[in-house]
A = this chain, B = another copy of it.
């Protein structure tokens, strides 16, 4: 951030009075512009034991496989967001189920919230951000071609819990920042 989104004057990085972290503060109007983690919502859609995966048509990780997931929008719930992303990326109308995983992705300033989901009918297809979409048996999941660590984590916990007959939720933190 170089300029104030409100008034267009230059901002500087400084610790405001009473605060404890540097913020972008406008030299003109004095507005303080906070930057906070963004939420990615997604789900593991299941149809008769098989899992719906999407091969990414966009960067980052173009060509790698993921579950339907994306940035939550203002005005929707986490479940709304996970359902919408399944429609957009996999053309799949899923029923969102229980909470599966909450992953703090510290280097990316993101929190990933993943749910279990049911695909009632085997109807799906490649949305604009996917090269292909397919149902995978557990033994066929392309583990070496999974796009993101958070997706790998969510898929593994999903399968472990399913084999135990459980629907737990799992917290996890991923931090790829360089050590100082």
Interface membership of A79, Cβ < 8 A: yes
Q: How far is the CA of A153 from the CA of B2 in the complex (A)?
A: 40
Docked CA distance A77–B77 (Å): 21
Interface set, chain A 47-104, CB cutoff 8 A to B: 71-79, 99, 102, 104
Residue A176 lies at the interface, judged by CB distance under 8 Å to chain B: no
A5 within 8 A of B: yes
A1 to B8 CA separation, bound complex (whole angstroms)? 10
- A43 nearest CB across to chain B (Å): 14
A159 proximal to B (CB < 8 A): no
Closest-by-CB residue of B relative to A20 is B88
Residues in chain B near residue A171, CB distance under 8 A: 77-79, 99
A112 to chain B, nearest CB (A): 11
Check if A147 is an interface residue, CB within 8 A of chain B: no
B2 touches A2 (CB 8 A): no
Contacts A102-B78, A169-B169, A171-B79 given; indicate if A36 touches B2 (C-beta within 8 A). Answer: no
Residues on A lying within 8 angstroms of B by beta carbon are: 1-8, 10-11, 18, 21, 24, 33-39, 71-79, 99, 102, 104, 106, 109, 111, 128, 169, 171, 173, 177
Known interface pairs A8-B8, A36-B71, A75-B106; 5 further A-B residue pairs with C-beta atoms within 8 A, sorted by A's residue number = A37-B73, A75-B109, A75-B177, A79-B171, A99-B99
